[in-house]
Chain A
Amino acid sequence: MIRRIIRHRLTRRLATALGTLLGVAILVFIMLRAIPGDQVTAQFGLEAAGLTEAQRAQLEAYYGLDRPLVVQFFSWLGNLFSGNLGFSSRAQMSVAALTAQSLPVTVELAVLTIVLSLLIGVPLGMLSASKPNSLRDGLGQTVGLAGLSIPAFLLGSSLLAWLAGSGFNPNGLGYASLTQQPWLNLQQMLLPAVVLAFGIAAPIMRTTRTAVLEVRSLDFIRTARAKGVPVRRLQWRHVLGNALVPITTMTGLQFGYLLGGAIVVEQIFSLPGIGRQVLIGIQQKEYAVVQSTVLIIATGFVLVNLATDALYRLIDPRVRVS
C-alpha cells in the first residue's frame, strides 16, 4: 500500500513541487541578502549616517538582522510551516494579512485577463485557421503579431495618456474591492485587463490556430467530413474539442505567469496587487515580505501547473489511457 502511494505519479509530482518551492525559497533568500543595503538604510535613508553604533545595533535587532543567516533562514522556514509568513513593520501588518488584500486583486486581474484573452484569442485563431493563408488568416495573424510585439507598459502608458484628458479615470478614485464596490472595481480592472489580454490573446490565438489546423488534418475529422457532418458543427464540436488540450496548457501557463507578471500593469494602473507588494518589499528591503510573497506566487504557479496537468488528463483521452 505505502509503496503504491510512494510510487504513485501524484505523490512524485507533489514531491517535485515541494522540492521546487524549497529551491525558490533558498534562491530568494540568498538573492535578497545580496542586494546592497538593508531595512535600516532603506527606512532611514541618508539619516542612517547619523545613527550611533548602539542605535544601529538596536535597529538591527528590531528588524531581526542581527541573527546569523542560517538562523534567519530556518526560523523563516519554520514559521512558514506554522502559518506565520512574517511581519511587515512598514505596513504594521502580517504578510499573511497583506497578501489577503493584494492576492485577490492580482487573481481577479489574472482571471479577467484570461477570460478576455480567450474571448479574443480563440475565435480569432479559429477564424484564421478556417482558411489558412487567406486574407482573414493574414489579418488574424497580424493582430496576433501586434499582441506579441507591443509590450504591456507601452500600451498601458499610451492608453492612460490618451485617456488622461477624457475624465475617465476610475483608478484615481482609490482601489475599490470587488466585494464592496463591484461596479467601480470592474471599471478599474477593465483597462489593465485589456492591456494584459492584448498580449496574452496572441499566444492563445496562435496556439488555437495551430491546434485547429493539426486536428483538422487528423483522420477522424476527415472521416466525419466525408460522412457529411456539417462543417460548422464539425468546427465547434470536434475540432475545438480536440484543440482544447493545447489551448488549456497554454492558458494555464499564461495564468501562472500573470500572478507574478502583472507587476508593470499594476504599477501603471495603481492596482495594489501582489506584484507591487514584492516591488515595494524589495525597495524597502523587507525581507520577510519579499520572501514569503515570492514563495506564494511560486506556489500559485506550481499549483496552476498541477491543475493544468490534471485538467489535461481529464480532457485528453489519450493521456488518460496511458
Chain B
Amino acid sequence: MRNRTHLSRLALPVAGLLSAALALTSCGTPSNDPTDKPTEQILVVGTTSDPDTLFPWKATQFFAVNVAQNLYGTLTEFDADLNVVPGLAESWETSADGLTVTFKLRPGAKFADGTDCDSTDVKHSLEAIQNEATAAVARSSLATVTKIEAPDASTVVLTLSVPDAGLPSNLAVINMAILSSEDTEETLNTKPNGTGAFVLTSRQPNQSLTLARNEHYWGAKPPLDGIEFRIIPDETSIVSAMQSGNINLTTFDDPLVAQSAEAAGLTVRKTPQLSYHVLQLNATRGALVDENVRLAMQCAIDRQEVLDTAAQGEGEVTGPITSPAYRSDPKARPCPTRDLAKAAQYLAQSGLSEVTVNAIVSQGEYATSVNEAENLKAQLAEAHINLELEVLESGAYVQRWIDADFESAVALNGGRPDPDGMYGRYFPSTGNLNKVAGYSSPTLDQLFAQGKSESDPAERAKIYTQISNELEDHAVWIWLFTSYSYTVTTAGVTGYTPMPNASAQYLRSTSIA
C-alpha cells in the first residue's frame, strides 16, 4: 500500500515528461524523413541483426544473404515458385552428352560502378569460387565443373566431368554471385559492387544499412528509390515501430510475434519454408548403428505432436525433400503415424530393452529447438528410449555439429529448391557433409549419381522419390516438419513476394504508397 502511494508520487513527473515527449514525437515524425523530398520512396525494413559480412561468397547468415541478394546478381535466378529462370545469363544450353553447358550472357549487364559484366568476370568469379584460397562456401557446388572458358564477351562454356542437372539451380544461389574481375574481397567488403537491383550507400554498424536503386540494373527499374535496413534487436520493438509507421516491412519466424503484429493491425503473410526441423541421427555412433533402433525411434515419434507442441501447430509435417517440385510424401515411411507397438517390435529386434541416445540441442539458434527436444524426449520415453538432452549455447552447438560429435542432433537445416543441392552434400559418401550426415550406402550413392545426371524432370522426380524412401525406410534421420516465415507489412507496401528460400530479392519490385 505504502509502496503504491509513493510510487505514484515519483511516477507523476516521469509521466509528465513522457507525455510531453509523446506529444512532441507525434508532431515531429514527418520531419524525420532523412531526405526531405516527399516524393522519394524509401522502404524501411526492420531486422534484428547486423549482416556479418557483405561479401556474397562468404555470406551464410540469414540477413547477410538477404542484403547480398539485393546487391549482387547470379547467372541464373529463382522466381517466386523456385523455378530456375535467366539472370545474368539470358539463356543456356546443355550438350547432348550433358558434359558441356554454354551460357549466353545478357547484353548490357553492368556492375553498379558502370563497368560491363562480361564473360571475363563470370570466368573469373567461378574460378575464384573453385579456388580453395578464396574460402567460398559454395565451392562444392562447382565440383563437377572441370573447365571454364570464355570464347567471346557474351559466352561462357562450362565443361563438366559428369552431367549435372542440378547445376543451373546451384548457380542461382547468391553465394555464386558474379563479381567484377577488377574487384577484390577487400574492396567489396566496404564498397560492394554488384549487378543487383540496389547499391549500398551507407552503413552504420549495429544501427542501419542504406541502399539506393542501382541505376545500371539490367532488369525492370525498381520502384523504390532506396531501402533502409534498420537494426533493432528486439522483435517487440519492431512491432511497435511498425505500428507507429516507422518501419514498413519485416520478417519474423515466431508465429506468436506474427500473431501479435496481426493483433496490432498489421498485414501478415505466411510463407512455407524449405528449411526443415529434423532429429539428425548419427548412424555411426552408439546404439544408432543398429537400424532397428533408429526405426524404433521413428515409430515412437508423432511428428504432428512435436509441431503442435513446440511450434503451436504452425507448419507442416514433412519428409526429407521440402522443395515443392520434388516434395516427399510425409506418409511414405515405415511408420506413417506413431506406432508404439511397432516401435517396441523394432527395439526387440535390436535385442535391447532400453536405449539411451544423446542429443545436442542448440539454445538461441532458433526459438523452438529446446521445446522440440523436450517433446521428442517425452514421446521417446514411452518407447523406452531415453533421449539425453545436451542443451548447448549456439557456438558450442555449431562446433559439435560440424565435428559430427553427437549421437543425435535436434536441428533446423536449410533447404534448397533442387534436391541434389539440398542432400547431394549430405548423403553420398563423397559429400562434403557426409560426416555430419552420419550415414551412407551404395544404394544412395548410386541414386544420387543417377539423379544428378538425369535431365528429364519427370525421371528426376522419380529418382528423388526413391532417395526419399530410402532415407525414410532406413530411418537415416527423423524428419519432423517445416515451418513458415511471416512477412509483416504496413499499409501501402505492395509488390513484395516472400520466397520459400527466405530470399528478399523481391524488394526490387516492391513499392510503397
B97: CB under 8 A from chain A?
Answer: no
A253: CB under 8 A from chain B?
Answer: no
- B191 (CB) vs chain A CBs: closest residue: A92
B6 touches A168 (CB 8 A): no
Beyond A58-B132, A170-B25, A173-B32, whether A161 also contacts B3 by CB under 8 A is no
Closest chain-A Cβ to B131's Cβ sits at a distance in Å of 9
A31: CB under 8 A from chain B?
Answer: no
- B241 (CB) vs chain A CBs: closest residue: A172
Count the A residues whose beta carbon is within 8 Å of the partner chain — how many?
69
Q: Which of B46-54, B214-222, B325-333, B380-388 contacts A (4 or more CB under 8 A)?
A: B46-54
B256: CB under 8 A from chain A?
Answer: no
* Residues in B whose Cβ lies below 8 Å from that of A142: 2-3, 6
Q: Which of B118-126, B202-210, B296-304, B345-353 contacts A (4 or more CB under 8 A)?
A: B202-210
Interface set of B (CB-CB < 8 Å, partner A) = 2-3, 5-7, 9-10, 14, 17-18, 21-22, 24-26, 28, 32, 46, 50, 52-54, 58, 60-61, 132-137, 139-140, 189-190, 203-208, 228, 230-234, 236-244, 246-247, 264, 393, 395-396, 398-399, 401-402, 404, 411, 413-414, 425, 432-433, 435-436
Residues of chain A in range 9-46 having any CB-CB distance to chain B below 8 Å: 35-37, 41-46
A91 touches B50 (CB 8 A): yes
B241 touches A173 (CB 8 A): yes
Q: Identify which of A50, A120, A194, A280 contacts B137 (C-beta below 8 A).
A: A50
- 8 A–B contacts, CB within 8 A, in A order: A42-B52, A58-B135, A139-B2, A139-B6, A168-B25, A169-B243, A190-B21, A280-B50
Closest chain-A Cβ to B207's Cβ sits at a distance in Å of 5
A68: CB under 8 A from chain B?
Answer: no
A47 touches B137 (CB 8 A): yes
Interface set of A (CB-CB < 8 Å, partner B) = 35-37, 41-52, 54-56, 58-59, 62, 88-93, 98, 101-102, 120, 138-140, 142-143, 146, 160-161, 163-175, 183-184, 187, 190-191, 194, 267-270, 272, 276-277, 280, 283-285
B401 touches A46 (CB 8 A): yes
A43 touches B21 (CB 8 A): no
B237 touches A270 (CB 8 A): yes
Which one of B2, B46, B233, B396 has the highest number of Cβ atoms from chain A below 10 Å of its Cβ? Answer: B233
* Distance in angstroms between the alpha carbons of A169 and B246 in the assembled complex: 9
* Distance in angstroms between the alpha carbons of A49 and B243 in the assembled complex: 41
Q: Identify which of B17, B237, B402 contacts A172 (C-beta below 8 A).
A: B237
- A268 (CB) vs chain B CBs: closest residue: B234
Beyond A160-B240, A174-B208, whether A92 also contacts B189 by CB under 8 A is yes
* Distance in angstroms between the alpha carbons of A190 and B13 in the assembled complex: 13
Beyond A43-B61, A90-B50, whether A171 also contacts B139 by CB under 8 A is no
* Distance in angstroms between the alpha carbons of A194 and B18 in the assembled complex: 10
B7 touches A55 (CB 8 A): no
A36 touches B24 (CB 8 A): no
Beyond A46-B402, A174-B230, A184-B28, whether A37 also contacts B396 by CB under 8 A is yes
Seed contacts A55-B135, A169-B246, A174-B208; 18 additional CB < 8 Å A-B pairs: A35-B395, A44-B60, A47-B60, A54-B132, A54-B133, A58-B132, A58-B135, A91-B50, A138-B2, A139-B6, A146-B3, A164-B264, A167-B26, A168-B18, A171-B232, A174-B207, A272-B204, A283-B395
Q: Identify which of B61, B230, B233, B411 contacts A267 (C-beta below 8 A).
A: B233
Closest chain-A Cβ to B258's Cβ sits at a distance in Å of 15
* Residues in B whose Cβ lies below 8 Å from that of A194: 14, 17
Which one of B21, B135, B207 has the highest number of Cβ atoms from chain A below 10 Å of its Cβ? Answer: B135
A49 touches B401 (CB 8 A): yes
* Distance in angstroms between the alpha carbons of A173 and B135 in the assembled complex: 37
* Residues in A whose Cβ lies below 8 Å from that of B135: 51, 55-56, 58-59, 62
B236 touches A183 (CB 8 A): no
- B228 (CB) vs chain A CBs: closest residue: A174
* Residues in B whose Cβ lies below 8 Å from that of A267: 233-234
